[in-house]
Amino acid sequence: MSQIYLNSSMLRQLNHTVQAYFSDWIKMQQLTFNHTKLANSQAAMKTNSTTFLVTLLVAFVLYRWLFPACQRVRQKPAKFELPLPEAAQKNWKGKRLFPASLSNSESPNRIQCYCPATGQYLGSYPSMTEQDIDTLVSKATKAQLKWRETSFEERIRVLLSLQEYIIENQDSIARVACRDSGKTMLDASMGEILVTLEKLQWIIKNGQSALQPSKRSGPSNFFMKWYKGAEVRYEPLGVVGALVSWNYPFHNLLGPIIAAIFTGNAIVIKCSEQVVWSSEFFAALCRKCLEANGFDPDIIQLCYCSPPSATDDAANYYSSHPGLKHLTFIGSKPVAHHVLTAAAKSLTPVVVELGGKDALIALDSVKDINALSSIIMRGTFQSSGQNCIGIERVIVSAQNYDKLVSLLEQRVGQLRLGSDIDNLEDVDMGAMISDNRFEQLENMIKDAVAKGARLLHGGSRYTHPNYPQGHYFQPTLLVDVTPNMEIAQNEVFGPILTVMRASDTNDCIRLANSAPFGLGGSVFGNDYAECNYVANHLNTGNVAINDFATFYVCQLPFGGINGSGYGKFGGEEGLTGLCNAKSVCYDKLPFISTQIPKPLDYPIKSNASAWNFVKSLNTGAYTTSTWKRIKSVISLAKEA
């Protein structure tokens, strides 16, 4: 495929040409202005001056906007296609499992995939063994040796190609994600596609600058600071790994892949056994994109296996594999303990994201309660509440409590359950990934009611008349919740909206910080100073002011504290975290370099002389007294 691109040399020449043009133009404008100043009246001079300044400003803005745009579009995306699996076709009729389960007694070493919304069978896959994992890591290691030498321009072209494919195939991608997760098409579009496109676009625009060598101030030593320079260079680690959760099968898989390949790494990514079918397709999509751009697809490897058992420990083998130089884990706290224990064997660093108990705080200064209720509904029930930064608690200051509860009571009761994967019906909320937590959710609700909470809607599992095999839980509204209730302290990860009453702003903060998690949170109010005060006092890793979860969309470093884990992925920190931050010092002046002074050269001729030399050197290098520095320099000259 022959195409013409702007290469780096052409871009530099264009830059110089544009700069020269504007420089000459400015000089000409200045001459014109001076001539006008002499020839015309004061009023005419003022008019020309304003015109000149406006023209100059417009020219500057256009230059600053157009030239970076030219740089970013120096690569055109490669086109590629990928056949859709049969089950990803619209109006696909697959057989339904009775009951729907990941395991099959007839094939205990295989993972059985099905649609949680309908119970339709999607396929089965062999649970990978330790030997399989060795093969994956070996392939990735070999491919990465060449990939690490690629330029940022080449990596950006891969991301542009992936971005273009996603934009042109949104329906198919959403349908694949929905088949394997049970969510609605709208939830897939917002929670899977939008955030993935944002990550791609952000890295395409900002990734290269984030990974440029970082200039540092160098030594503060008075004698060294004049000639020693220092910087940090970001180099690929090699092969990295990620264990990602099932709730966003497209975005959670592609996020680590995008970051890994842009930083020059290969990746062996382990998906949840719940979403193997879709993960196979999405991984194949990324590999096909690499192939279309002329690169080895082996830099992306997909791993899946059954949970650890007495006879199968492949999952822990993956986490402890010495070939993986970094791990990102997204999941639950119990599983995290296994991952960290295994990773400790090979001293592999791990970023841990464990979900949260995010609070949305509504202060007395909130004016538009109806608009706020819409945000609460979306933040709570999107993806059936299976969202690590979903709204787990709504904390309302006393003035707005009753009004907000009344609004939510009306709205929650109108939600419709079902599946819109084939556009057969209009629905608001889809299925949950599994029914294995339904009893736990019901018990937490019963505990809250027994301790004084009011159950206004839902509270139990739901048998859908059209999809009896599906995993549905009723949209639930639970109000008057207090911190002593189990549901206020544990992550729900389901479609349960809990509302807590606070007496004032400080009580809102107290309630928000009462749970043992610290991932995210949000605060709403018309008094920015008050909102900022709340944000500064929330014990979380992320906060949104007058918005919900946009810290994630903004590509800020993402991660929590306390029970929500540690470390960050996303944004600049997420990219540099996948690199070896190599510290480099160098001589800024080629004719000056470090020499061993004669009093310190081996063999030491005089310990007394050497001691006096070093003492004067330390004093002169770090004293804040000019007179002491002068005396130290004189002493050094004598000892030398």
Collapse the DSSP code of 362 into the 3-class scheme (helix H, G, I; strand E, B; otherwise coil) and give the result: strand
Contact 264, 234 (CB under 8 A): no
Question: Is 353 in the active site?
Answer: yes
Collapse the DSSP code of 139 into the 3-class scheme (helix H, G, I; strand E, B; otherwise coil) and give the result: helix
Collapse the DSSP code of 235 into the 3-class scheme (helix H, G, I; strand E, B; otherwise coil) and give the result: strand
Candidates 192, 280, 353, 639; catalytic one: 353
- Cis peptide bond upstream of 297, omega within 30: no
- pLDDT at residue 59 in the model: 65
| Backbone φ/ψ region at 570: left (φ over 0), alpha (ψ -120 to 50), beta | left
Contact 260, 325 (CB under 8 A): no
Write down the residue that tokens 């995306």 correspond to: 77
Low-confidence stretches of the chain (pLDDT < 50) are 1-15, 17-18, 20-22, 25-26, 29, 31-39, 41, 45, 72-73
**Residues contacting 226, CB < 8 A, separation 6+:** 588, 589, 592
Dihedral of CA atoms 300, 250, 261, 123 in degrees, nearest 10, equals: 0
Q: Helix H segments across 387-517?
A: 398-412, 438-450, 486-489, 505-512
Collapse the DSSP code of 233 into the 3-class scheme (helix H, G, I; strand E, B; otherwise coil) and give the result: strand
C-alpha 240 chain-centroid distance: 16
- pLDDT at residue 62 in the model: 64
E strands in 109-204 = 110-114, 121-126
Q: Residue 54 has which token pair?
A: 């406006």
- pLDDT at residue 23 in the model: 52
- pLDDT at residue 105 in the model: 73
- pLDDT at residue 4 in the model: 32
Q: Residue 122 has which token pair?
A: 């999607």
Contact 449, 455 (CB under 8 A): yes
Using a CB cutoff of 8 Å and minimum separation of 24, what contacts does 1-9 make? 1/78, 3/76, 5/74, 5/75, 5/76, 6/70, 6/73, 6/74, 7/74, 8/153
Q: Which residues pair with 210 in a beta bridge?
A: none
| Backbone φ/ψ region at 384: left (φ over 0), alpha (ψ -120 to 50), beta | left
Write down the residue that tokens 């390949």 correspond to: 261
- In one-letter notation, the amino acid at residue 524 is F
- pLDDT at residue 450 in the model: 98
Contact 253, 162 (CB under 8 A): no
Q: Helix H segments across 464-504?
A: 486-489
Q: Helix H segments across 333-483?
A: 333-345, 369-381, 398-412, 438-450
Give the DSSP H/E element, type plus range, for residue 30: helix 8-39
- pLDDT at residue 50 in the model: 66
pTM comes to: 0.87
